[in-house]
Amino acid sequence: MPCPVVNGTSYITVKLCLQDLLKSCETFYKKLLKLNSDESEDATGRDSTLFNDALVLKLVVKDDSALREVFTQQKKDLVYRIKSHDWRSLVNECVTYSVDDLVEAVTVLADLDAPYQCWPNDIDPLQVYTLDPMGNVVGLTSSKNGMSTTKQNMSTAPTTALPSLVASRAQSYTDLTKNVPTGASYPSLPIGNAGANSQRKRCIAVLTSGGDAQGMNPFVRAVVRTALFKGCQPFAIFEGYKGLVRGGPEYIKALNWEDVDGWNAQGGTNIGTARCKEFKERAGRLAGALHLIEAGIDALIVCGGDGSLTGADLFRAEWPSLVDELLNSGKITAEQATTYQHLTICGAVGSIDNDMADTDSTIGAYSALDRICEAVDYVEATAKSHSRAFVIEVMGRHCGWLALMSGICTSADSIFIPEEAVDPKTWRDDMCKVVTKHRERGKRTTIVIVAEGALDSDLTPVTSEDVHKTLVDRLGLDTRITVLGHVQRGGSAVAFDRILATLQGVESVNAVLESTPSTPSPIITVSENQIQRKSLVESVKSTKSIAAAIKEKEFSRVLQLRNSEFVEHYENYLAINAADHYAPQLPKKDRLKIAIVNVGAPAGGINSAVYSMTAFCLSQGHKPYAIYNGWSGLTRHESVRTLTWKNVLGWESSGGSELGTDRDIPSSTDIGMIAYYFEKYQFDGLIIVGGFEGFVSLYELERVRDVYPAFRIPMVLIPATLSNNVPGTEYSLGSDTALNSLIKYCDVIEQSASSTKDRAFIVDCQGGNSGYLATCTHIAVGAHASYVPEEGITLDQLKQDITNIAEAFDYSDGREGQLILKTTNASKAFSATALADVMTAEAEGKFSVKSAFPGHIQQGGKPSPIDRTRATRFTIRAVKFIEEKQTVSCTARDSVTEVNYNPLDKANTSTAVVLGVKNAKVVFSPIKSVYEKETDVKKRIPKVIHWTPLRSIADHLSGRKKVHS
């Protein structure tokens, strides 16, 4: 029978038949429905009132043993029939609540360990049903009408995006995920879309200030095109605040769609940047205010460092008084003063130093890190030839992020950073001790990385010259100094910075349009993989407090003021740099045997994971084992070897898989033989580094634990695949390396296309049934379109794309080459070559299309800095997870006849996990739950594609018209 649905009801009473259920029900409903509790509740503890703006829910306790038995049995029956029956057909009543986000609700249910069903399917549910602790069936829907089978309007849905980046949940009145009707003009822009709350067309200016950073051009491009898409007029202020102070059409220019074509691949900032002393004075800010009002601008987006953003916020704070002063002096009219009485400010951090608090990464930081790692990799080759030492000086006056991360990426022997001031009396001895130990164990090279702001506890700078002199005088090493300087700022942005800058540019415009006069100025940040808005003032304040703490010699506070990820990376560097050169951290009784294996295709960062696992295990006192050549190597050749620090030297920056890898899974080899060798070597933990085959391997090992006690050990999968298709995570090792390889290839192909009039290229991307690579590359290189398996290729859309490309060539006089990305599996009918032939034929001479195949270039090469550092971070977390889980029951494997082992017990299932990034957190998800509930096994992809919203952003920013299905 149909379930009664609460539609408009604001008061619900839930009766509980057991006092012990009150607290658990409170927790359940508070977390699931985001309710608050009534602090004025009576002291008897018999009732509880929960509420929010739309609902009051009363929990009433009335002990009833008969009813208790009924509900206990009902709950058992429902859980037993979770896969075979629709709960709604088994109960007499069900209350359905309206929630904003079903995906978030499912996540909460998983955290609460509550059973649930999705209707009509798990992939794209319209409704979700669960059981509260009492056993009541509770329904959830994202529609306002609980009986509706229509999905929520995407124009009001939260916007999410990736690579591994997810856009802010904050809603805007115009959403980039909304389809655009096909029109007659290029590019696709909404007609008369000036914003639902606007009486006039908004004018938004963007400027870049401070030191230049790779990614500033993609940021400006995203701001300009998003503003145009949302019906606003974008302006660029050239030469930073200097241009704002000087004003006039030479410095303040309106930009059109085509003005920012091709900017993604260009380094630096095309609108210029400059230091401006005048803007630091009120007279300069007064002139800037006048010039903005004269141009009709009422919103300013600033991309720069903390000084630039501080100036922007001060400008906004003074704005009312500046307007009054301009009015009183007769420089503006009363109408202008009324129209421009408020200035909206939004900031984004462009800085290669990554020195802003409250964000994991700033625009340009990973591009600069890429330059450093490339230089060190080159330098190390010549250092190895002569057994030399090199001192590398990198930027970072108040922040040692570049030195720290490059130290991890290149296995540097020593690093010097501002956050960790060294002892002026002992730092030379400490450094020489480490270098000597490394040399004694067979390392031919010595790399020391010095941040330009490095100092000792007396605030005396530690310079590259000081380090050089020490290595020469004390150790007699042939030593060279390499100062990288502005090379770190140069060149095109890496994939991460292009996409980060683009998403932050989109979010900056959203923030401007959603701000009110009372809204604090926001700054756009990123946490793990999620784009967020935070307070500009608070972020700048936190950043400046670090420099102040250093100046005041409060070094114990400095690291604490950095974000937790920075501290984690620093601790990881110290651990892996110690390896087995010092006494182990753990007592003998806690030391373990931990194995690592590569399963699936090669991916950037796999070797970095093995190196980090080996070095960290040795520093703890564990014994690291390697299983060579995957499961087939183990079953056929007993390919198990212990790992030593010397074995893995250089692996941190090595591409491919030094252990060897294949796609065999346990069931296709000999799972019994695998168990035999696990028992023989008495492994206490296992780390699998691999893609979907690794994912399936972990599930198969966990599933047979009741038969093979050898597998009752903590097991962790670190996803590693360029396809980024492993369920349970939004980021896989190797995907960033593949993206960098692909965008370099596309930049070259686009240059070729631009050199030939009216030429387009279709680039065939790997990825299997996942369009992640094609979509992210679409954004990173500003391609015209991308075809992915999740959408396929329709004839109507293909016809429209041909028309779009022809129009684009008309606007550029045929000299702006066009790129199209296609995942190989996007269509069974059209290969890249066939698609190129069809488009050329249908273009009727207006343009020609060629196909290009980067192939396994996408898998090869040295791993990117992101893949190196994340491999280190994830692997160390995996080892710590194995350490923590040694006490649970599943590790009791001594008796084959053990009868108490329950494979469904949460304590046991929680020890076989996927390590992943989800919603700005690094999490461990049980493989059983992820495989059975979140995976489309046949397609080898997650049921919920976390990066899908990027599709619309990519299309809109490239001017692609989408045909409604």
Residue 808 has which token pair?
A: 């684009």
Phi, psi for residue 428 in degrees, rounded to 5: -65, -45
* Residue 851 CB contacts under 8 Å (≥ 6 apart), including other chains: 761, 762, 763, 764, 831, 832, 833, 835, 836
Q: What is the reported pLDDT for 961?
A: 86
Q: What is the reported pLDDT for 312?
A: 92
Closest to 298 in 3D by CA, of 350, 245, 336: 336
Q: Is 721 annotated as a binding residue?
A: yes
Instruction: Tell me what the mean pLDDT of segment 90-115 comes to.
Output: 84
pLDDT reading at 193 higher than 60: no
pLDDT bucket at 96, cuts 50 / 70 / 90: confident
pLDDT reading at 180 higher than 50: no
The mean-pLDDT minimum among 801-810, 827-836, 901-910 falls in: 901-910
From the candidates 175, 313, 353, 466, which is the catalytic residue? 353
Q: Is 734 annotated as a binding residue?
A: no
Q: What is the reported pLDDT for 478?
A: 94
Q: Is 884 annotated as a binding residue?
A: no
| CB-CB contact of 960 with 785 (8 Å) | yes
Q: What is the reported pLDDT for 894?
A: 52
Q: What is the reported pLDDT for 495?
A: 96
Q: Is 306 annotated as a binding residue?
A: yes
Bond from prior residue into 120 cis (ω within 30 degrees of 0):
yes
Q: Is 859 annotated as a binding residue?
A: yes
Q: Is 940 annotated as a binding residue?
A: yes
Q: Is 715 annotated as a binding residue?
A: no
Question: Average pLDDT, whole number, for the chain?
Answer: 87
Write the pLDDT tens digit of every residue in 638-685.
999 999 999 999 999 999 999 999 999 999 999 999 999 999 999 999
Q: Is 351 annotated as a binding residue?
A: yes
Q: Is 221 annotated as a binding residue?
A: no
915 vs 541, which has greater pLDDT? 915
Residue 223 has which token pair?
A: 């701001």
The mean-pLDDT minimum among 44-48, 139-143, 937-941 falls in: 44-48
68 vs 235, which has greater pLDDT? 235
pLDDT bucket at 267, cuts 50 / 70 / 90: very high
SS3 716: strand
pLDDT bucket at 187, cuts 50 / 70 / 90: low
Q: Is 275 annotated as a binding residue?
A: yes
Residues of the chain above pLDDT 70, percent: 90
Q: What is the reported pLDDT for 233?
A: 92
Cβ neighbourhood burial of 66 (10 Å; 0-12, 13-18, 19+) = exposed
CA distances from 728 to 530, 926, 945 (A): 16, 9, 11
Q: Is 431 annotated as a binding residue?
A: no
Q: What is the reported pLDDT for 437?
A: 94
Write the pLDDT tens digit of every residue in 9-31.
677 888 888 888 888 899 999 88
Q: What is the reported pLDDT for 635?
A: 95
Write the pLDDT tens digit of every residue in 273-284.
988 999 999 999
Q: Is 342 annotated as a binding residue?
A: no
What is the side-by-side strand order in the sheet with 818-823?
785-787, 818-823, 759-765, 848-852
The residue to which tokens 């703490």 are assigned: 549
Alpha-carbon distance of 536 to 348, in angstroms, equals 9
Q: Is 3 annotated as a binding residue?
A: no
Q: Is 356 annotated as a binding residue?
A: no
Task: Respond yes or no: is residue 813 known to be catalytic.
Answer: no
Q: Is 488 annotated as a binding residue?
A: yes
pLDDT reading at 773 higher than 50: yes
Residues of the chain above pLDDT 90, percent: 62
288 vs 811, which has greater pLDDT? 288
Residue 201 has which token pair?
A: 């067309």
Q: What is the reported pLDDT for 573?
A: 96
Q: What is the reported pLDDT for 775?
A: 96
Q: What is the reported pLDDT for 637?
A: 93
Q: Which pTM was predicted?
A: 0.81
Q: Is 168 annotated as a binding residue?
A: no
Write the pLDDT tens digit of every residue in 862-921.
999 999 999 999 999 999 999 999 976 455 555 444 457 777 777 788 999 999 998 878
pLDDT reading at 455 higher than 70: yes
Instruction: Tell me what the mean pLDDT of segment 728-754 comes to.
Output: 94
User: Greatest CA separation found in the chain?
Assistant: 94
pLDDT bucket at 161, cuts 50 / 70 / 90: very low
Domains in the chain and their CATH numbers?
Answer: 11-150 (3.10.180.10), 203-360+493-543 (3.40.50.450), 379-489 (3.40.50.460), 586-733+863-937 (3.40.50.450), 737-860 (3.40.50.460)
What's the DSSP call for residue 90? T
Closest to 402 in 3D by CA, of 360, 446, 356, 450: 450
pLDDT reading at 84 higher than 60: yes
Q: Is 352 annotated as a binding residue?
A: yes
Instruction: Tell me what the mean pLDDT of segment 80-99 comes to.
Output: 82
Residue 207 has which token pair?
A: 């400027």
599 vs 5, which has greater pLDDT? 599
Instruction: Tell me what the mean pLDDT of segment 172-190 comes to.
Output: 39
**Number of helices (H) and strands (E), helices first, in the chain?**
28, 32
pLDDT reading at 2 higher than 50: no
Alpha-carbon distance of 727 to 138, in angstroms, equals 27
pLDDT reading at 333 higher than 70: yes
Q: What is the reported pLDDT for 143?
A: 66
Instruction: Tell me what the mean pLDDT of segment 327-347 comes to.
Output: 94
Q: Is 111 annotated as a binding residue?
A: no
pLDDT reading at 196 higher than 50: no
Instruction: Tell me what the mean pLDDT of segment 511-520 comes to.
Output: 90
Q: Is 487 annotated as a binding residue?
A: yes
Instruction: Tell me what the mean pLDDT of segment 786-805 comes to.
Output: 92
pLDDT reading at 42 higher than 60: no
pLDDT reading at 7 higher than 80: no
The DSSP H or E segment spanning 787 is strand 785-787
pLDDT bucket at 149, cuts 50 / 70 / 90: very low
Q: Is 396 annotated as a binding residue?
A: yes
Residue 123 has which token pair?
A: 């992939």
pLDDT reading at 153 higher than 70: no
Instruction: Tell me what the mean pLDDT of segment 388-408 comes to.
Output: 95
CA distances from 23 to 61, 107, 140 (A): 11, 21, 21
What's the DSSP call for residue 461? B
Q: Is 308 annotated as a binding residue?
A: yes
pLDDT bucket at 87, cuts 50 / 70 / 90: confident
Within 10 angstroms of residue 593's Cβ, the number of other Cβ atoms is: 16
pLDDT reading at 169 higher than 70: no
Q: Is 489 annotated as a binding residue?
A: yes
pLDDT reading at 173 higher than 60: no
Closest to 208 in 3D by CA, of 196, 222, 198, 197: 222
Q: Is 725 annotated as a binding residue?
A: yes
pLDDT reading at 545 higher than 80: yes
Q: What is the reported pLDDT for 177?
A: 31
Q: Is 305 annotated as a binding residue?
A: yes
pLDDT bucket at 88, cuts 50 / 70 / 90: confident
What's the DSSP call for residue 56? E
5 vs 845, which has greater pLDDT? 845
